[in-house]
Amino acid sequence: MVELTTALPKPMLDVAGRPLLEYKLDALPDEVNEVVIIVGYLGDIIRRHFGERYGGKHVTYIEQETLNGTAGALWYAAPHLHDRFLVIMGDDIYAKEDVARLTEASEGWKLLVQQLPAMHRAGSVQLDASGLVAEIVESDREDEARLEPGIASTNLYMLDTRLFSCSMVPKHAGSLEFGLPQTVVAAARQLGIPFEPVFTDKWIQITAPNDLVTAAERLKKASL
């Protein structure tokens, strides 16, 4: 996305006439009353576009001063999070009904997943004998051409503040970045919290410029 993000942060890239981030905020259920957006690169563009309220929800912006990974980003938001909360990445597009399913009452945590015919760069979700999430193995750039099928993490989570009683986990040994998948898996195991997969077939992954065109086409078909 480098050629498209010199003047815009990735969550503000256009899909069918609207920025990616709008699709995520519009997918939130009514019971979500506050949105916390972690900003970094060109974050002022996001602030100006959405302001302090969007769709009747209060919006708070947190600057990720140190780029220390996805778990690091969430930990910046911790003082503003209460009880249960959704974690949504700033690029991919999710169906409103899937977000609603994640917010249904549960004692455990949830992760939206999708069965893919070819994994490419998606994080691979491994389930235990009970059908719960046991591991999330993230790919790296060398894995872009992975063609084997598998269960992919969409990086959409339903968690709660028990997570912050545990330590962040590095993406890999020696890394200065803390990974949210690694941290959530380790915390669920440490705290004995069921980590449930919720399957979908509506996830739209955005990793390359062509994905923006594909996303627009899928959204158009879905609205017909």
Residue that the structure tokens 């410029």 belong to: 209
What integer pLDDT is reported at residue 161 of this predicted model? 97
pLDDT, tens digit, 9 for 90 and up, residues 113-172 = 999 999 888 899 999 999 999 999 987 655 456 789 999 999 999 999 999 999 999 998
Could you tell me which CATH number the domain at 2-223 has? 3.90.550.10
- Extract the residue ranges of the chain whose pLDDT is less than 50: 143, 224
Distance from C-alpha of 99 to C-alpha of 97, rounded to nearest angstrom:
5
What confidence score (pLDDT) does residue 138 get? 85
User: What is the reported pLDDT for 140?
Assistant: 64
Q: What is the DSSP string of 172-214?
A: STT-SSBPHHHHHHHHHHHHT--EEEEE-S--B---SHHHHHH
Domain boundaries, the chain: 2-223
Q: What is the pLDDT of residue 105?
A: 85
Q: Is 157 helix (H, G, I), strand (E, B) or coil?
A: strand
Residues 72, 96: contact at Cβ < 8 Å? no
Contacts of 130 (CB under 8 A, 6+ apart): none
